[in-house]
Structure 1
Amino acid sequence: MEFLPFGESLKNIRKRAGMSQKELAAGICSQAQISKIEKDDEIPSAIILNEISKKLGVDMNYFFDIQQSHKIEYINSVKNEVIHLEKLKKYNELYEYILKVKKNPFFQEGKNLKFIIWHEAICIHYVEKDSLKAMELLKQGPHLNLNEKGHRYSEVDIQIMTSLAVLQKELGINEESESNFHKALDLLKQLPKVSDQNIELKILFGLAQLYTETNRFQDSLLLSQKGIRLCDEIETLYLLGHFQYQVGENLAKLGRHNEAKQAFNRSCLIFQLQDNQQYVKLVKENEDELLGTNN
């Protein structure tokens, strides 16, 4: 069954009943409020919805079904668009979209609010170049709703924590970054079910990078190899080329140049399979610098 947006459905039913907005609003609410509801700018309360249903002679459950279906469809479409724009690194366009969407009531509480805060912080970092502001916003995310009874950390909380750790790493706040990476990993293991298996890969890669940057090459090597095994286990190329590169960099820093060269070759092959020539070029340039070769 295909559902129209709630406001449009209400408008159609009202018109079929031969009522104006003013007539429908009489004794219930203001005409302006009916107008906002029909434009999906406002979600009616259960009391108002009940009165509207009675006046239009429609079962209130019908409106509830429409409202719930539209809500789920809208939330999913917004999240898909956000993820799509972020993947393309269109941060300016994403920022405009986030600022518009965050006004919607569906994104003003719970996990959906956290999702918006998470991506708004990412945009602030890349668009406004205000890393400290982005970091403070990310710190808010996992702490929303902590006082609610039975609250437990969700995948969104862990993703926010991971983004915070990545940003702290980029800013050189290494101890806090490492702590948040480990906390995110521990919390992920506590979840009864994980729907996005890429989360663990993001954490492992971020932590591996941090270890390399702080000269813990053996620790980074072990984490990178763990990431590669996980990629193989869940049959994904996501971050696999990056993990292979990280293996190569660590081996080079440890003086194991022949093994490093093999890892760099594997990294290039994966990026070529993904048609990512930019990373192929970057790997080769870094290989030349690390191994002192001229391929």
Structure 2
Amino acid sequence: MTSVQRTIGTRLKKLRQKKKITQQELSRNICSQAEISKIENGKNSPTIELLQDVAKKLRVPVSFFFMEEEEIEEFHRIDHQITQLMRAQKHAEILKIIPQKLKNTTAEGTRILLRYYQLINEVEMKKIDYRTCISQLLKLVNDKLILEEYFLIYVRIQMAVAVLYTNNKEYMHAHNIYKETLKLDYVTDDYKKLMLKVKYNYIRNLIKLKKFSLVIAESTEGINESNKMQDMSYLGHFFYQQGYALEQVCASSEKIKEAYTQAYVVFIATENKAYKEILDEYLFELMYFTID
């Protein structure tokens, strides 16, 4: 067993387990389950073709299996740091730290991530207009390999473009991007969670387009997917969107109350005080009960 075999095997096993994919699922249409097991245990060295197929299925670049651990940690550390600053709306601070971080890294995935954050914060600070931002974001994902090797970044960038279109009332442009993005193969739990976020934003845009029948269908699908995954991140929002659409199509009061009450219960469970208060204050007559 060489050190390279051991490194590839260890990284493959860790990544597969993190993404909650079984050896059998990973090997399907690629190789035998036994081969995956031998690679993970460092007994076999994969061919470059096999490694490419495995990397494609796991949505990581082939280079991931040879990267220094520091590079992988750097990506997640930067993503977490800037996400926290975004939530605090510290756009100026983000723009201040990004140039230095770009100088300090040569890792392609990290550089794409930093440019993505730079562009969306520049548009927030009105340093560029939304059309320029969209154009530059799309350039970042213009290469087909970005979709194959950096799936999460690709989807986040597509979603950012669609949100910019929605925020600037170009709803059909956003609609088309969401439809294409939702067609992608979300094979792991992490990807499926991201898919729920895409669907939530897609439904927001459908509401702007007044496609209420489609809102009902898509929100129902979102509810079913959330329940299947046992994920409550967007469950309350899907019920809320469903309730709103049911109102618009003059559905029965029972259906409307059912949707809004379900949303209310989920918002309480997830401590989403803002949406609970909206329902308490404005929609209490359209629910079966409220809690003080």
The verdict on a shared fold, with TM-score over 0.5 as the criterion, is yes
- For 1:138, the aligned partner's letter is L
TM superposition shift of 1:224 = 0.6
Distance in 2 of aligned mates of 1:198 and 1:96: 31
Answer yes or no: is the 8 Å Cα contact 2:147–2:154 preserved in 1.
no
Over 3 Å counting, the alpha-carbon distance change for 1:153 and 1:79 in structure 2 is closer
**Which residue is equivalent to 1:226?**
221
Over 3 Å counting, the alpha-carbon distance change for 1:285 and 1:137 in structure 2 is farther
TM superposition shift of 1:269 = 2.0
C-alpha distance after superposition, 1:200-249 (max 9, x if no partner)? 11221122122221111010111011111111111111111111110110
For the residue of structure 2 that corresponds to 1:196, the secondary structure is helix
Answer yes or no: is the 8 Å Cα contact 1:261–1:287 preserved in 2.
no
TM superposition shift of 1:194 = 6.4
- For 1:280, the aligned partner's letter is K
| 1:162 aligns with one of 147, 159, 163 | 159
Q: Which runs of 5+ in 1 are unaligned?
A: 1-66
- For 1:162, the aligned partner's letter is M
Distance in 2 of aligned mates of 1:269 and 1:99: 44
**Which residue is equivalent to 1:264?**
260
Distance in 2 of aligned mates of 1:94 and 1:206: 24
TM superposition shift of 1:181 = 0.6
Over 3 Å counting, the alpha-carbon distance change for 1:282 and 1:173 in structure 2 is same
Over 3 Å counting, the alpha-carbon distance change for 1:229 and 1:192 in structure 2 is closer
C-alpha distance after superposition, 1:148-205 (max 9, x if no partner)? 699667231122112211211121112211111111112x22x665643222112211
Query: Is 1:72 equivalent to 2:69 in the alignment?
Result: no
**Which residue is equivalent to 2:139?**
140
TM superposition shift of 1:136 = 2.4
TM superposition shift of 1:285 = 4.5
Over 3 Å counting, the alpha-carbon distance change for 1:113 and 1:226 in structure 2 is same
**Which residue is equivalent to 2:234?**
239
Query: Is 1:128 equivalent to 2:123 in the alignment?
Result: no
The alignment covers a number of residue pairs equal to: 220
Distance in 2 of aligned mates of 1:72 and 1:152: 14
Over 3 Å counting, the alpha-carbon distance change for 1:253 and 1:151 in structure 2 is closer
Query: Is 1:178 equivalent to 2:172 in the alignment?
Result: no
**Which residue is equivalent to 1:44?**
none
For the residue of structure 2 that corresponds to 1:197, the secondary structure is helix
Distance in 2 of aligned mates of 1:200 and 1:149: 18
Answer yes or no: is the 8 Å Cα contact 1:142–1:153 preserved in 2.
no
- For 1:236, the aligned partner's letter is D
**Which residue is equivalent to 1:214?**
209
The alignment-based identity, stated in percent, is: 19
**Which residue is equivalent to 2:112?**
114
For the residue of structure 2 that corresponds to 1:282, the secondary structure is helix
Q: What's the RMSD between the two structures over aligned residues?
A: 3.0
Over 3 Å counting, the alpha-carbon distance change for 1:265 and 1:94 in structure 2 is farther
- For 1:250, the aligned partner's letter is A
Over 3 Å counting, the alpha-carbon distance change for 1:181 and 1:104 in structure 2 is same
Answer yes or no: is the 8 Å Cα contact 1:207–1:220 preserved in 2.
no
Answer yes or no: is the 8 Å Cα contact 2:146–2:154 preserved in 1.
no
Answer yes or no: is the 8 Å Cα contact 2:226–2:232 preserved in 1.
yes
Over 3 Å counting, the alpha-carbon distance change for 1:245 and 1:89 in structure 2 is farther
- For 1:112, the aligned partner's letter is T
Over 3 Å counting, the alpha-carbon distance change for 1:254 and 1:196 in structure 2 is same
**Which residue is equivalent to 2:61?**
none
Query: Is 1:275 equivalent to 2:271 in the alignment?
Result: yes
For the residue of structure 2 that corresponds to 1:79, the secondary structure is helix
TM-score, normalised relative to structure 2: 0.65
**Which residue is equivalent to 1:105?**
105
Larger Rg computed on CA atoms: 1
Answer yes or no: is the 8 Å Cα contact 2:85–2:94 preserved in 1.
yes
